[in-house]
Every structure is written in C-alpha cells, then in structure tokens.
Amino acid sequence: MRIVERIYIDGVFVKPHGTEMFDLFDPARGEVIGQVRLANAEDARRAIQAAKRALPSYASTGKAERLELLRNLHDAVLSRGADLEEATILEYGAPVARARWTARYAAESFLNAAKTLEAYSFTRPAGGSEVVMEPVGVAGLITPWNANAGFICNKLAYALAAGCTAVIKPSEMSALQTEIVTEALHAAGAAPGLFNIVTGRGEVVGAELTTSPDIAKISFTGSTAVGKAIMKAAADTVKRVTLELGGKSPSLILEDADLEAAVRMAITAGFQNSG
Amino acid sequence: MPEARLSDVLPLAKTAMAATKVGDLRDPATAIGPMVSARQYDRVQRYIRLGIEAGATLVAGGEGHPDGLGGYFVRPTLFTDVTNEMTIAREEIFGPVLCILTYRDEDEAIAIANDTDYGLSSYVFSSDPAHARAIAARLQTGRVVINGAPHDPLAPFGGYKQSGIGREYGVFGLEAFLEAKAVLGVGVRHSHGGRTRFHAPGCLRRPRDLCRAARHGARRCDAANGRLWRRRIDHDGDVDGVRFWPDLVA
C-alpha cells in the first residue's frame, strides 16, 4: 500500500489539513494499491496565497530567467521519466508504449514553452501606441486523470513562460503520478510559491480556485459538464478561462483515400489513450 | 465512409480490430489498457449496451471483459449500421468504442461530422491534399488531422462549440496567460501638415527628422515597420543628399 500524504505549497511538502483518505486503484486488477490524503479548502487558500506572494517578483523577470527555469524543469522531469512511466502503468493502466510517450511528452512541454517564449515579442505597436503583453496573474490549473503528468507540465510551462505563478489541482485519481511530477519540479530549485500542487476534490479545492478573487485565470481540461460549472463559478470574479472539454471527433474517409491505411489509422486514432 | 465502399471496409476493419492488442501493459505492442476506474468501466459497458439496443451491429467486441482479462479492461468494440441519432454516435464514450457511419455524398459527410455539440478534433483521409484541405475548411473543429499526421505540440489545441474556449500550446497557449495593455501617448509626438500624431516608440529619435522624412515620401512609422520604412526612403531616391535615415530608424 502506498500512502500519499503530502501536498506542495510555497516550495515545501506539507501534510494537508484535509482528512479524507481516497483509495487509489490498479485498474488492470481492480484492486486498491494505495491511498491519498485529500487537501481541503484551507490548503487551497494557503496555496493561492503562496502563489500570490510569489507573483510580483516572478512577473517582473525577463525572458532569460524564465527560459533557464523552463529548461531546468524539463531536465528535472526528464530525469524522473522511468519512475513516471512506472506510475502511469500502475495507477492509470497505460500500456508501456503510451506511458513512455506521455512521460517524455510531459518533460518536453517545458521545451515547447521555452521555444515559444524565445520567439515571442511581449511588446508590439498598434496605431501610434504600444501594446505590452503582461502576465494575467495567479493561474489555477485543473487537470484530469487521462494524461496527468502531461497536462500538469504543459499548463504550468506556459503559465510560467508568461510570467504567471500557479496553483495546480490534479485529479485525485492520479496521486502517485502527481507525487513524482511534484518531486521532480521541486528538485529543479525554483523560487518558493511559483507553483503549488494541491491534490483534492474538484468540488472542494477546484471550487476554491474558481471562486477566489486572487486567481485571475483558470485553465481546465476535463468534461464539458464540469467545464460549464467552472465557467459559471468563475463568472463572479470575471476570471479568464481556458477550457479544453469533451469531444466526439469524427474521421472522414473520403472516396479517394487509401482504404486499408485509412481504416487502420482511423481505428488507431480512435483507440489512442485507450479510447 | 462512403456507403458504396462499406463492403470493402468491413473486412479491413475486422482485420484492424483483430490486430489491436489489449491486455499486457508491459508489452510494447499493446495499444489498449484498462479503463481508469470501475465507474468508467460501467460507463463504457452502458454505451455498448445502448448501441446494441439501438440496433447497431457489432463488427468486433461487445459487452464484458476481453478473454482472460479482469480489472477494468473492456473489449475494443466497433459498431456498424450506426446512425447519427444514436446515443453512441452523439456522446463521448471515453473508451475504445467506435462507430461506422456511411454517407452518400460529401455534403452529407460534412453534415454528419458537424451535427454535434462538440468540435474538438476531426480526421480526414484522402490521397489528394487539395481535396483533404477543402474538406478541412468545412469542418467545425479546433483541429483537423489529415492522413493520420502526428501530434504537433506547437499548433493550437482546443475546441469549437462545447468542446471548449481558448487554445493551448504554442503562441496561443502563451497568450492564454497574458493580458494586452495598450499604452497610448508614449510614442514621439509630432505635428505635421496640421495634424498631430503619436509615433510608435523606438521608431524615430527626433520629431524634426520625421518631418523631413515625411517630405520625402515616408508614410509608415512604427517599430515593426522600421525596416520597411527605411527601404521606402531608399527607393524614393537620394532624399536631397540628406543622409538622415540611419539615425531615424531604431
């Protein structure tokens, strides 16, 4: 049995104030393999305050400093690739080929964000005036279980590239994977509070993020039903929202397609990530 | 797929389904693992049942576990004789269950593809790039993937309609965390020909030189067009022998 009783706030691992223990499963066997202690609203508020304190100095950093941070985060996550792969197989039930790809992809998110940042101009003219692109503020990043490490890393990478600090609420069903990602990110030696990782329930930790006046932006990946609830909750403080929700993505095989290849690829695409 | 090709496609689909490996997670050839939870397993089972009840025909798979497997493994399932009104064609299943729908012409194919509240991704298969692109232009999805192209981590990702708001990855993903602040009046204030204008910062160092430049045909003035502006003056001739332009362009 693996017991996860740590969340990450202000640069340190702490025990959550929350007391609910949530079972973790090996989906290949349908057996309990561990438990995670879930964070509560108080934990979420502490994480938000840490991110808020870290914001002014981080938002004023230049490109060079952010690029260095992103590259360090990449190296740190990459170095835990084997552990992450193992946890993704065990806790999520990903086949090894998929688990390996997702672990590498999570690390590469930081390089992709770095590449984007490097080429990006934060000022541009408009008419006779100047437009300055500024970090939106503290970002709340809410991620699902179907690509845990990838979503945490990708959303965090772009938030940091933009000069934002973040509170991340990963799925409670991915606690083992999240712990490895968190350890890796911590090892990169970033300033305290830049990112805070709080595993808990959506209706508790997620709700705190979506209603807090100190959160400026929510980036959420998950179901359309939850996305709608987040958008409604975020309306009271007029948060910016990025929502990546459900889909029903069609494959169109045209008359002039190579049928054998098209059928094979359409089925492969449809079954990606176990459907 | 085209209705007339269904009899060609079914054996190909059966072969592809038989080749889809489910089970041993340590086998690099395995494509499909278990569903993440009992809840997700039940959800997929329900959709398979709904497909059968609605009159769709199983090409492969069905309810229950694959042979020799337990846990939350489901049988990779393919239905044919599916219409776009069926629940299995409309709702996101989040498991390895696919449906074959046929169309009589491309207008119908597009109509079926777009008749949904979702709009995340779509896939087009064609041997003619121009044809694929023309179809892509008519699809209401955030991504259109042609001929199974691999994931592009710098191309925007996100949905039309109820598949979401905004985009992740690349420049779009970066700007999702940025606010635009317009600062007016920080440029060079300059009166010319009875009009007062502000010129973008970094473009001209001295307003006086801007007047001279304007007399010699320069019309554009902003930082982004600094080079263009300089070329235009070059192009216009020797500018009365006044070599001021290198000083003017930041």
- Alpha-carbon gap: B145 to the closest alpha carbon of chain A (Å): 9
Instruction: Find chain A residues with C-beta within 8 A of B128's C-beta.
Output: 256
Q: What pLDDT, in 10s, does the model give residues A121-175?
A: 999 988 888 899 999 999 999 999 999 999 999 999 999 999 999 999 999 999 9
Q: Tell me the pTM.
A: 0.90
Whole-number pLDDT of residue A126:
87
- Tell me which of B233 and A114 has the higher pLDDT: A114
- Alpha-carbon gap: B201 to the closest alpha carbon of chain A (Å): 7
CA B175 to CA B169: how far, in whole Å?
10
The answer, yes or no, to whether residue A38 has pLDDT greater than 50, is yes
Whole-number pLDDT of residue B219:
45
Whole-number pLDDT of residue B223:
42
The average confidence (pLDDT) of chain A is 97
Q: What pLDDT, in 10s, does the model give residues A236-265?
A: 999 999 999 999 999 999 999 999 999 999
Whole-number pLDDT of residue A23:
98
Exposure class string for A104-126: b at 16+ Cβ within 10 A, else e: bbbbbbbbbbbbbbeebebeebe
- Which residue, among B40, B120, B125, has the nearest Cα to B74 in the 3D structure? B40
The answer, yes or no, to whether residue B233 has pLDDT greater than 80, is no
CA A177 to CA A246: how far, in whole Å?
23
Whole-number pLDDT of residue B209:
56
Question: Is A32's Cβ below 8 Å from some Cβ in B?
Answer: no
Rounded average pLDDT over A24-41: 98
Whole-number pLDDT of residue B201:
52
Q: What ipTM was reported for this prediction?
A: 0.98
CA B167 to CA B155: how far, in whole Å?
9
Phi, psi of B147 (to 5 degrees): 50, 45
Whole-number pLDDT of residue B185:
83
- CB pair distance less than 8 Å for A231 and B223: no
Pair A66, A1: CB distance under 8 Å: no
Q: Which of B17, B118, B174 sits opposite A116 (nearest CB)?
A: B174
CA B212 to CA A167: how far, in whole Å?
54
The answer, yes or no, to whether residue B224 has pLDDT greater than 50, is no
Q: How confident is the model at residue B245 (pLDDT cuts 50, 70, 90)?
A: very low
The dihedral over CA atoms of B106, B107, B113, B115, expressed in degrees to the nearest 10, equals -160
Q: How confident is the model at residue B241 (pLDDT cuts 50, 70, 90)?
A: very low
The answer, yes or no, to whether residue B206 has pLDDT greater than 60, is no
Instruction: Find chain A residues with C-beta within 8 A of B104's C-beta.
Output: none
Q: Which of B76, B125, B185 sits opposite A257 (nearest CB)?
A: B125
- Tell me which of B177 and B231 has the higher pLDDT: B177
CA B218 to CA B232: how far, in whole Å?
7
Q: Which of A31-45, B40-54, B189-203, B229-243 has the lowest mean pLDDT?
A: B229-243
The answer, yes or no, to whether residue A99 has pLDDT greater than 70, is yes
The answer, yes or no, to whether residue B190 has pLDDT greater than 90, is no
- Tell me which of A226 and B189 has the higher pLDDT: A226
Whole-number pLDDT of residue A125:
86
Rounded average pLDDT over A179-194: 98
Please report how the helices A259-270 and B6-18 are oriented relative to each other, as an axis angle in degrees rounded to 10: 50
* CATH code for the domain defined by B3-163: 3.40.309.10
CB pairs under 8 A between A and B: 309
For the record, the structure tokens of B12 come out as 């190909």
CA A1 to CA B117: how far, in whole Å?
42
Whole-number pLDDT of residue B117:
97
Whole-number pLDDT of residue A128:
80
Whole-number pLDDT of residue B194:
54
Q: What pLDDT, in 10s, does the model give residues B101-131?
A: 999 999 999 999 999 999 999 999 999 999 9
The answer, yes or no, to whether residue B246 has pLDDT greater than 50, is no
Question: Is A253's Cβ below 8 Å from some Cβ in B?
Answer: yes
Query: What does the domain layout of chain B look like in residue ranges?
Result: 3-163, 188-248
Q: Which of A27, A132, A259 sits opposite B5 (nearest CB)?
A: A259
